[in-house]
Structure 1
Amino acid sequence: MLGLEYFSFAALFSPLFLAFMLLVTAAYFVVIGPLSEKFADAEPVSIGKKIMFVSGMFFLYLAQGGPVSLLGHIMFTFHMTSMALSYLVATPLIMLGIPTWLWRAFDRINPFKKLGFLTKPVVAAVVFNGLFSFYHIPAIHDYVMLHFAVHRLYYIVLFIAAALMWWTLINPLPEKHQASGLAKIGFIFLNMVLLTPACGLIIFSTQPMYATYSDPNTWAKAMGYCVSGDTSALLQTFGGPSFFYGLSTKVDQQLGGIVMKFIQEFIFASMLARVFFRWYKSENKEDDDDIIPTDLSDGSLNRA
C-alpha cells in the first residue's frame, strides 16, 4: 500500500520514538495512579480523560514516528496530514487528558511564568499560525526537511506553540482568567482566518513549490530522516517520490493544502459549535436568574 512494503520495520515504526512515547504514557499512568497521593488536591482521573491522553499520544506517534511520518516524506498530502494530526488533533487531546490538579502542579513549578503573555489569545494565535505559515515558505520548508536537528527542534517549537494556542479553548486552570464565550468564538475565527493564506498559496499554486517532493535528489536526502544508511540507493531503486503514487507533484501539493484546511475547518467548526451553545446556554441562564418571581417571593400568591 503506497509502497510501504518497500521499507523496513524501523523505517515504518521508528522503534526509539515508539519506546519514548510508551515511556511517557506509562509515566502519565504512574503519576495519576500510585504517585497521585503526593499531590494535595489530587482526585481520581476519569476514564474519559485517560482515553483522551492515550488517543493523543497515539495520534502524535502515528504522525511523527509511525507510517504517516514516513509517507509525509514521500507525499505532501501526508505531510499536511501529519501536521494536522500533530497540532490540531493530538495536542488538544493530550492537554484534555491531563487532570486539573496536575496542571496546577505544573503551574507551581513553571519556570517560564514571565512568558505568560504567550498564552494571550491573539498572541498565541499569531505565534502558532505564523510559525506554521513560515515553515511552509518553500526555501524554509526544504531547509528544515534536509537538516534533521533543525527539523526536530522546529517540530517541538510548533508543538509548544500549538499548546499555547489551544490553551484559550481548553481552559486547563479554571481559577485563572478565562476568556468569555464570545471571545472564544472570535478566537476560533481568528485562527481559521490566519491559516487561510498559507493554505491558499499552496492550493492555488500553478507549479510545485517544494524541492523535497519534486526533485528526486533533494527527496532522497530528506528521506534520511526516516531511513538509515545511504539514501542514494532510493534513487536507484525508485527514481523519486512519484514512484509511490499516481498523482502529479502539483496535484499532490494542492491536495495537501486542501486536506490541511479541511481538517482545520472541521475541528474548529466543531469547537465553534460547542463554544457557541455553551455560551448561549450560559447567557440564557443568567437572564433567567435576573427574573425574580415576585408573586411567589412576597407571598402574594398565598394571600390570594
Structure 2
Amino acid sequence: MLGLEYFSFAAKWSPLFLAFMLIVTAGYFLITGPLSNRFKGSEPVSAGRKTLFVFGMLTMYMAQGGPINLLGHTMFSFHMVSMAMSYLMATPLLILGIPVWLWREIDRKNPFKKLAFLTRPIVAAVVFNGLFSFYHIPVIHDFVMLNFWVHRLYYLLLFITSITMWWAIIQPIPEKDKTSGLMKMGFIFLNMVLLTPACALIIFSSEPMYATYSDPNTWAKAMGYCVPGDPSILLEQFGGPSFFGYLEPGIDQRVGGIIMKFFQEIIFASMLAYVFFHWYKRENKEDDPMPTELPVSRINQV
C-alpha cells in the first residue's frame, strides 16, 4: 500500500531513532517513578499525564521515524501530515505529559533564561510560524531536503520554536502563568492567521512548486538520505515520486496544504474552546459575591 512494501524494515521504521525514543521514554518513567524522590517537591504522576507523554512520543516517532516519515519523502501530502503531527500534536502532548514539579526543576536549572523573551506570546508566534513559512518557500524547502544536516538542524529548530509557541498557550508552571485567558485566545487566533498565507500559497499554486516531489532526479537525491543504498537505483526502480502517489504532484501539493490548514484549525479551535472554558469559569468564580451572614432574626427562625 502506497509503495511501503518496496522498502526495508530499517527504511520504514528507523531503528536508531526508535531506540533513541525508547531510551528517552524509559528515562521519563525512571525520573517520574523510582528517582522522583531526588527532586524537590516531587509528587506521584497520574496515569493520565504519563499517557499524554507516551502518546506524544509515539506521535513524534511516527511522524519523524516511522512510515509517515518515509511517505513524506514520496508525497507532499504526507509531508504535511508529518509536520502537523510533529509540531501541532506531539509538542503540546509532551509539554502536558511532564509533571509540574519536573518543569519547576528544569526551570530552576535552565541555562537559557536570558532567552526567555522567546516564550512571549507574540514573539513565539512570529518566530515559529515565520520559520515554518520560510521553510516552505520552494527554493528553501528543496535546499533543506537535499542537505542532510541542514534538514536535521532545521527540524530541530522547528521543534524548539514549537515548544516556545505552545508554552505561551499552555504554560505548565501555574505560578508563572501571567497571561489572561482573553490574551491567550487572541494569541491562538494570531497563530491561526500567521500560517494562512503559506497554506494559501501552497493550495492555490497553479503548478507544482517543489522539485523534491516533481523532479525525479531531485527526489532520488533527497530519498538517498532516508533510504540506504544508491539513489540512482531508486530512480531505476521507481522512476520518481509519482510511482508512489495516487495523485499527480499539483493535486498532491494542494491536498497537503489543505491537510495542514485542517489540522491547524481543528487543533487550535479545540485549544481555543479549552482556554475559553477555563477563562470563563475562572471569571465567574471571581465575580461570585461572598456569602453574607444571616440576620439574627433569621437565625432564630431556623
TM-score tier by shorter-chain length is: over 0.9
Instruction: After TM superposition, give the deviation of residue 287 of structure 1 in Å.
Output: 1.5
Q: Which residue of 2 aligns with 1:98?
A: 98
Judge conservation of contact 2:141–2:210 (CA < 8 Å) in 1: yes
Which sections of structure 1, spanning at least 5 residues, go unmatched? Answer: none
Asked if the contact 2:13–2:65 (Cα under 8 Å) also holds between the matched residues in 1, the reply is yes
Return the alpha-carbon distance in structure 1 between the equivalents of residues 139 and 147 of structure 2.
12
Deviation at 1:49, TM superposition (A): 0.7
TM-score, length basis structure 1 = 0.97
Pair 1:266 & 2:263 matched = no
- For 1:2, the equivalent position in structure 2 comes to 2
1:80-229 alignment runs, 5 A limit? 80-229=80-229
CA RMSD of aligned residues (A): 1.1
Q: CA deviation at 1:251?
A: 0.3
After TM superposition, give the deviation of residue 292 of structure 1 in Å: 4.3
Q: 2:79 corresponds to which residue?
A: 79
| Partner Cα separation in structure 2 for residue 46 and residue 246 of structure 1 | 44
Give the partner amino acid of 1:243. Answer: F
- Give the unaligned 5+ runs of structure 2: none
Kept after mapping to 1: 8 A contact 2:62/2:68? yes
Q: Distance in 2 between matches of 1:162 and 1:244?
A: 30
1:39 aligns with 2:39: yes
Return the alpha-carbon distance in structure 2 between the equivalents of residues 169 and 214 of structure 1: 38
For 1:130 and 1:298, the matched residues in 2 are separated by: 63
Please state if 1:302 is matched with 2:283.
Answer: no
Q: Distance in 2 between matches of 1:54 and 1:106?
A: 19
Q: Is the contact made by 1:168 and 1:178 (CA closer than 8 Å) also made in structure 2?
A: no
TM-score normalised by structure 2 residue count: 0.97
Tell me by how many angstroms 1:178 deviates.
2.4
Q: Percent identity?
A: 71
Aligned to 1:230: 230
Structure 1 residue identity aligned to 2:247: L
Contact 2:124 2:161 in 1 (8 A): yes
Q: Aligned partners of 1:251, 1:165: CA distance in 2, in Å?
A: 31
How far has the Cα of 1:285 moved from its partner?
1.4
Tell me if structure 2 keeps the 8 A contact 1:171–1:178.
no
Q: Give the match for residue 26 of structure 1.
A: 26
SS state of the match for residue 217, structure 1?
helix
Distance 1:298 1:197 in 2: 64
Query: Does the 8 Å CA contact 2:171/2:177 hold for their aligned counterparts?
Result: no
Change (3 A) 1:42 1:247: same
2:56 maps to 56
Hey, what's the Cα distance between the residues in 1 that align with 2:120 and 2:93? Answer: 20
Report runs of 4+ in structure 1 exceeding 2 Å deviation: 291-294, 296-304
Find the aligned partners of 2:132 and 2:94 in 1 and give their Cα distance: 20
Q: Per-residue CA shift, 1:161-210, capped at 9, x if unaligned?
A: 00000002212111114211101110110000000000000000000000
Give the distance between the partners of 2:124 and 2:296, measured in 1 at CA.
54
- SS of equivalent to 1:34: coil
Does structure 2 retain, via aligned residues, the 8 Å contact 1:203–1:254? yes
Classify 1:242/1:285 alpha carbon distance in 2 versus 1 (closer, same or farther; 3 Å): same
Q: Deviations over 1:83-140 (max 9, x none)?
A: 0000000011011100011111111111000000000000000010000000000000
Give the AA of the match of 1:137. I
Counterpart AA for 2:176: K
Any conservation in 1 of the 2:40–2:105 contact (CA below 8 Å)?
Answer: no
